[in-house]
Structure 1
Amino acid sequence: MSFYTSLSGLQAAQTELSTVSHNVANVSTNGFKKSRTDFADVIASSFSSDPTKSVGSGVVVKANQQQFSEGNLKTTGSALDLTVSGDGFFTVKTAGLNSSTAYTRNGSFKVDPTTHNIVDAQGSALLGYPVDAKGNATATGAAGLTTLNLAQTSGTPAATGKVALGVNLYAPATVPTAAFSATNAASYNSSTTSTIYDSTGKASTLTNYYVKTADNAWTVHSFAGDTELSVGGSKTGTPVTFGTDGKISSPTTPIAYDAFTPATGGLPQTLTVDLSGSTQASSAFAVNTRSADGATVGELSGVSVDAQGIVAASYSNGDTVSLGKVALANFTDPTGLRQIGDSYWSSTGVSGQATLGAANENGFGSMLSGTLEGSNVDITEELVNLIAAQRNFQANAKALDTASQISQTIIQIQG
C-alpha cells in the first residue's frame, strides 16, 4: 500500500512542479495570471473504522487555483495599450472561422491595417458599445457589443463659396509705378492669403493683392491658385474706395467672381469676397478678420482612450469623434474561468456568465491608457516554490525507495 501512497505523492509533486514551471515561463507574458496547486489527503474509512487507527492513502491534486491579483503596470506611451486597474476583463471576438467571445487582461491593442478595427496581437477584435455625441453608451448587454473601428476620414467635403476679409490698408502707401503682376512684388502694396476648398474637399489658396491707385483708392486682384478670378469676364481687378474717415465706401456688397474650375479638381465653383470690414489708416497693413466657409475631409491623425474607456479619434480637419466605449466583463467566480491560451479565458458553469459593463461602473475597475499590465508572477516566490516542490518530489521518491528496500528484506527473510 505504501507504494501507491508514495506514488500519489510523486504525481502530486510532479503536478506542482509543472504548475510552478508554467508560472515561471510566463513571467514576462502581459496579463498572465499565475496558478497555485492545492492538495487534499486521501483517507479510506468506513463507519466501523476506528478513527484513532486510520492511516491515509496518499494525496490528490484538489485544484490548480488561478490567482487573479493585479500584475505590475508598465508605462508604454501608446494610447491603445490599455489596463484595467481593478476588476474586469477586456472582451474580444477571436479571429478565424470559429470565432467566439473571449476575455483577457492583456490590453496590448493596435489598429488592423486592413479592417481598421482595434485588435490584439492575435487579430482578435476589441469589443465595445456605440456611443452618442456626449459619450453615453447607446446599447447594453451582449447583444449591443460591436467592434471598435477607427474610421480613416471624417467630415463631408464642401466647396468654399464665401470669404470675408477685414484688412487695414496703409494710407500713406505710394502708388506703384509698375503694371500689376502677381510675380512682381513692386507692382502691388500688400497681399493676403486664405485657404479655400473645392467640391472634393481639397485645399488651395486664395490670394488677394492690394494695389493703391490714388488717395483713398485701391484695386484688388484675386487669384485662386495661379489663376486670376474675373468679375463679369474682366480681370482688371475690383476698385475699392475709402472715405476720409477711413471706412470703406465701395464696394458695399461682396465681390462676386465668375465661376472657375479649381486646379485641384472638383466641380466649377463661384466665390464671393466680402471686404466690408476693411479700413484705411496711417497704421501698418494688417489683417483684422478672416473667415471662409467650405470644409475638407479630415484624415485620421490620432486616437485616445479616457478613464471611462471612451475611444476618441482626432482628424486633420479638427474633428474629434467618439467611436465607442470599451466593454468590460466580470464574473461571479473568476477562478472558474477556463484558460484557452494566448492570455484568453472563456466562461464556464463555475465562473458564471459574464456581467458586462464599462470602466468606473459598479463592479468594474478604471481604465488606464498608455500602460500594460504585466504578469502577476513573483519570480522569487516561484523559485522558492520550485525548490519546495523539488524537495517534496525527492522525499516521496525516498519513501518509495524505502518501501522497496523493506519489501526486498521481507522477501530475503522468506527465502
Structure 2
Amino acid sequence: MSFNIALSGIAAAQKDLDTTANNIANVNTTGFKESRAEFADVYATSIFASGRTKVGDGVTTSVVAQQFSQGSLQFTNNSLDMAITGEGFFALTPDIQSRDLTYTRAGAFKLNKDNFIVDNNGNFLQGFAVDPLDGDNQSVSLSTAAPITIPTTAGAPRATNNIYINMNLDSRNVPTDALPFDATDDATYNDSTSITVYDSLGESHTATMYFRRTTTTPPANSEWETFVVWDNVTAAPFQGDNLEFDSSGNLVGVAPTLVMPFAVLNNPLNGYLKNGAQFQADVVVNFRDAAGTSRPTQVAGDFAPTSLSQDGTTVGSLTGVDIDAFGRVLASYSNGDSAYLAQVALVRFANVQGLKQVGNTSWKQTITSGEPIGGQANTNTFGAINASALEQSNVNLTTELVDLISAQRNFQANSRALEVNSTLQQTVLQIR
C-alpha cells in the first residue's frame, strides 16, 4: 500500500513540476495565463471496514486550473496591438465565413494581404457593425459579428457643393470700384483668398475669392463686392451678392451667397472642366462658417479668414487607424475623411476556468464554461481596450521559482518514501 501511496506522491510532484515548468517557459508569451496544479487526497473504504484505522490511499491531481488574473501592459508602436484591462476575450475565426470561434487575450494583430485584421496565426478578429459617423454599434450579438477589414482608400470622390468662408474685412481699406474688376490687377480689389475644390472625378481645382470695397456715402452702410475665379480661367468671373456692414462692423441681413451654376461649369466651351467631370448641382460659396454660427465682420483689422472649408473630397489613401477604449476602429484618410469601421467584439464567460485550452494562447467554450456573451468594451462588466499595447504573461517568475523548489523537495521526499518501502520489502524477503 505504501508503495502505491509513494508512487501517487511522485506523480503529483511531477505534475506540479510540469505545471511550474510550463509557466516559466511562457513567462514572455503575450496573453498567456499561468496554471496551478490542484491536488486532492485519495480515500476509499468499504462500509464494513473500520474508518478509524484507515490510512489514505495517496494523492491525485484534481485539476490543472488556469489563473485568469490581469497581466501587465507592454506598450508598442503598432496601433493594431490591443490589450484588455479587465474581463473579456477577443473572438477569432479561422476563416472569413467560419463561425468556429476561439477566444484569446493575446492582442498582437496585423493586416493580412486582403486588409483584414488577423493574429499571428492568420485567425480573423471579429467585430460588430457600427455607424460610420458616430461609431454607435448596431448589435452586440456574436451572431452578427464579422471579420474586421481596413479599407486602404476612402471610396469614391465627392464633388464640392458648398464652400464656407468666414472672415474679417479691413474697414480701413479704400474703395477700388473705380476700375473694372481684374483678377490679374491687385489695384482692382482689396483682398483675396483661395481654396481647393473637387469635381465629380476627384480632380482638384482652385477657387479664388476676391473682395473689393465699393464707394458709399455716409451714413449708408459699407458694401463689398464678391467675385470667384475658377482655376484662373479667363472667362468672366462669377459674381455674388454684396456684403453689407453697419457702422459697428456687423453683417446686415442674412449671410449672402455666391453661386457658380453647374450648367456653366459643365459647359466644355467655358474651359472650367477638361477631364469629362460633370457637376450635378451648383457650387455655392456661403459667407459664413459651416455651422452657421459665425458671419463675416468689417472692423479695423487685417483681412483674416477665420474659417474656410468645403464639402468635396478626392480619393484618399489610408493614413492612420485609431482604436479607442470602447474598441471602436476609426480610419483616417489623406483627403481628410475619417470613418468608424467596426467595434472590436469582446466576449466573457460565466466560468472562465471551464474554458478548454487549444494552444496558441487560445481557448474554446465547454459545457462548464457556459455560453459566450458578446458585448462592448468598457461597458458593464467588460474591460477596456488599450490600443498600441499588449498584455504580458501573468506569470510571476519569482513565485514560480519558489514553487519549483517546493515541488522538487516534494518529489525527493516521495522518492525517499518509495526507497524506504523498497528497503523494507527487501528486508522481509531476506528473512529466513
Q: Deviations over 1:140-197 (max 9, x none)?
A: 3231212222233336423346768889696599x99xxx998x99999986432121
Following superposition, the deviation at residue 17 of structure 1 comes to 0.8
Q: Does the 8 A contact of 1:199 with 1:266 survive in 2?
A: no
Residue identity opposite 1:125 in structure 2: F
Deviations 1:246-273 (A, max 9, x none): xxxxxx9757666356789452669878
- The more displaced of 350-359 and 285-294 is 285-294
Identity %: 39
| Structure-2 residue corresponding to 1:411 | 429
Please report how far the alpha carbon of residue 396 of structure 1 lies from its aligned counterpart in structure 2 after TM superposition: 1.6
Which residue is equivalent to 1:215? Answer: none
| Equivalent residues in 2 for 1:13-412, closer than 5 Å | 13-76=13-76, 78-95=78-95, 100-110=100-110, 112-132=111-131, 133-154=133-154, 156-160=156-160, 171=174, 192-206=193-207, 222=229, 224=231, 228-231=233-236, 259-260=267-268, 265-267=275-277, 292=310, 294-412=312-430
- Choose 94-103 or 260-269, whichever is displaced more: 260-269
User: What SS does the corresponding residue of 1:154 show, helix, strand or coil?
Assistant: coil
Tell me the residue number matched to 2:222: none
Read off the aligned partner of 1:196 and give its amino acid letter. Answer: V
Separation (CA, whole Å) in 2 of partners of 1:239 and 1:65: 78
* Cα 1:291–1:362 shift into 2, 3 Å: closer
Whether the 8 Å contact between 1:74 and 1:373 is mirrored in structure 2 is yes
1:347 positional shift: 0.5
SS of the equivalent of 1:90 reads: strand
1:33, CA displacement in angstroms?
0.8
What amino acid sits opposite 1:411 in the alignment? L
CA distance in 2, matches of 1:289, 1:403: 92
Q: Aligned letter for 2:54?
A: S
- The structure-2 alpha-carbon separation of the partners of 1:289 and 1:137, relative to structure 1 and needing over 3 Å to count, comes to closer
For structure 1, the 5+ residue unaligned runs are 212-217, 232-236, 246-251
Matched with 2:292 is none
Asked whether the 8 Å contact 2:230–2:272 carries over to 1, the reply is no
Q: Is the 8 A contact 1:198 1:264 kept in 2?
A: no
- Give the strand-richer structure, 1 or 2: 1
Distance 2:307 2:414 in 1: 89
Q: Which amino acid aligns with 2:233?
A: E
CA–CA distance in structure 1, aligned partners of residues 286 and 5 of structure 2: 100
Q: Give the CA deviation at 1:42.
A: 1.9
1:332 CA displacement: 1.7
CA contact (8 A) 2:233 2:272 kept: no
Q: CA RMSD in A?
A: 4.5
Q: Could you tell me the TM-score, scaled by structure 1's length?
A: 0.77
Task: Work out the CA distance in 1 between the residues paired with 2:299 and 2:277.
Answer: 40
The 10-residue stretch of structure 1 (378-387 or 263-272) with the greater mean CA deviation from structure 2: 263-272
Distance 1:121 1:285, change over 3 A: same
Distance 1:140 1:24 in 2: 37
- Contact 1:203 1:264 (8 Å CA) reproduced: no
1:188–1:210 contact (8 Å) kept in structure 2: yes
Q: How many residues align?
A: 401
Equivalence for 1:214: none
Residue 51 of structure 1 and its aligned partner are, at CA, apart by 1.6
Cα pair 1:311 1:323 within 8 Å, conserved: yes
**Cα separation, partners in 2 of 1:274 and 1:339, compared to 1, 3 Å:** closer
Cα deviation 1:338-396 (Å, max 9, x = unaligned): 00011100011111111222223333223333332211111000001111111111112
Q: In structure 1, what is the Cα distance between the partners aligned to 2:42 and 2:287?
A: 97
Q: Give the 3 Å change call, closer, same or farther, for CA 106–48 of structure 1 in structure 2.
A: same
Question: What is the distance in 2 between the residues matched to 1:274 and 1:86?
Answer: 51
Distance (whole Å) between structure 1 residues aligned to residue 413 and residue 239 of structure 2: 106
Q: Where in structure 2 are there 5+ consecutive unaligned residues?
A: 213-224, 246-256, 289-295
- In the alignment, the residues of structure 2 paired with residue 15 and residue 172 of structure 1 have an alpha-carbon distance, to the nearest angstrom, of 95
CA distance in 1, matches of 2:27, 2:227: 72
Cα 1:197/1:385, change in 2 over 3 Å: same
Distance in 1 between the 2:11 and 2:315 partners? 66
Residues 262 and 268, structure 1, Cα contact 8 Å, conserved in 2? no
CA contact (8 A) 1:198 1:262 kept: no
Deviation of the 1:34 alpha carbon = 0.7
SS at match of 2:46: coil
Q: Counterparts of 2:144 and 2:97 in 1: how far apart (Å)?
A: 22
